[in-house]
Amino acid sequence: MAAGSPAPAQSSHSGVSAQRGSTCSAEQVESIAANVPSHSGSCYGDAVVDIVALSPAVQNAEVSSRPTDEEIIAQENAIRASEAEKLGFVGDIEPLVALEKEYEAGSEVFVRKIRSLESSYRSMRRTRGDGNCFFRSFIFAYMEVLVATNDLAERNRVVTCLRQWRPKLMETGFQELVFEDALEVLIDQLNSLGTAEPLTVRQLEDNLRDASLSPMIVMMLRMLDSAEIQRRGDFFYPFILGMSDEATTVEQFCRRYVEPMGEESDHVHIVALTDALQVPIRVVYLDRTAMPGEGGSSAVATYDFTPAGCAGTPPRVHLLYRPGHYDVLYPALPAPPSVPAAST
């Protein structure tokens, strides 16, 4: 399932707002998703051969020499996996100019949009593009803020929330034996804040880069996501129908597109996770689409995912979305207040 744009679902959830409060409709979801470039199919370059003009023998040879769709998909997956392995699960902090350089030779629209971001964001942190990037970006960014601010009240709140999910997960059909270790690992990470030797950002980086620990935490978040969607199936089902050409149930959707590791995330996943943990997030959407009004092709779309219980709470997590991938964004520090010059 191709990753769609981060756009809202709206019902008991307070809604997903764009540009500080305006509600995003289902039509906007479809409009944004329509602008995500498709990576399916194959490209054989600019040269075009008119097979009709060739002899049957040459035609057959030409056709037989072409790779099958299965071979093309396998090759694309191998390339994608190879590129993903070059980056750890979580990268280092980089200035936004590093991202800008990636597009200097290709897309002027991307370059202009990245430059426009620099007034609001100072840097970014990449995550591996392995289909788990949303969940990994979310939990790293959330915990990094807790570490930086030593916000023990928020730590206590989310730990209580996670413990309350234990019976809910079992009610949804998850066996405690399957999730109990992963749940305790996540809670232990959070509880390490505020101790005699509190968790540091460096330790958090090491933990989320660990080949055993990082996937376990992502797996736990996927189970929470699935349980939230299934518990509120009536709310999510209309959006699930719009994401698949196949007839499916909420449970089938979760088994196929939410729980498996490596499956990309859509707006349904985002709404479910923010609601499950009551953590508001902001997603900055970077693509080639020109926004209406001032700014045009240099303006970026911004979507806030705010649970009903968090109305008025600023986003705790900021993510950058490029078609098919999420990274962490760091807001620019506010300018210090001006100090009047001393009179002489």
- DSSP letter at 211? T
Query: Would you state the structure tokens that stand for residue 85, as one six-digit string?
Result: 């392995």
DSSP letter assigned to residue 63: H
Residues 6+ apart with CB under 8 A from 256: 248, 263
Q: Which of 13, 269, 318, 325 is catalytic?
A: 325
Alpha-carbon span 311 to 320, nearest angstrom:
22
* Residue 130 annotated among the catalytic residues of the structure: yes
Q: How many CA atoms lie within 13 A of 99 on its CB side?
A: 27
| 3-state DSSP of 83-121 | HHHCCCCEEEEEEHHHHHHHHCCCCHHHHHHHHHHCCCE
CA dihedral 206, 210, 213, 217 (to 10 degrees): 80
According to DSSP, the β-strands at 22-23 and 90-95 are unpaired
- Number of other CB atoms surrounding residue 227 within 10 Å: 24
Residue 161 is among the residues annotated as catalytic for this protein: no
Contact 342, 105 (CB under 8 A): no
Distance between CA atoms of residues 322 and 129, nearest Å: 11
Q: Which of 133, 225, 267, 287 is catalytic?
A: 133
CA-based angle 84:212:168, to the nearest 5? 105
In a 3-state reduction of DSSP, which class is residue 17? strand
Name the catalytic one among 13, 24, 130, 275: 130
Distance of CA 48 to the CA centre of its chain: 38
Q: Is 334 left (phi over 0), alpha (psi -120 to 50) or beta?
A: beta
* Residues catalogued as catalytic: 130, 133, 325
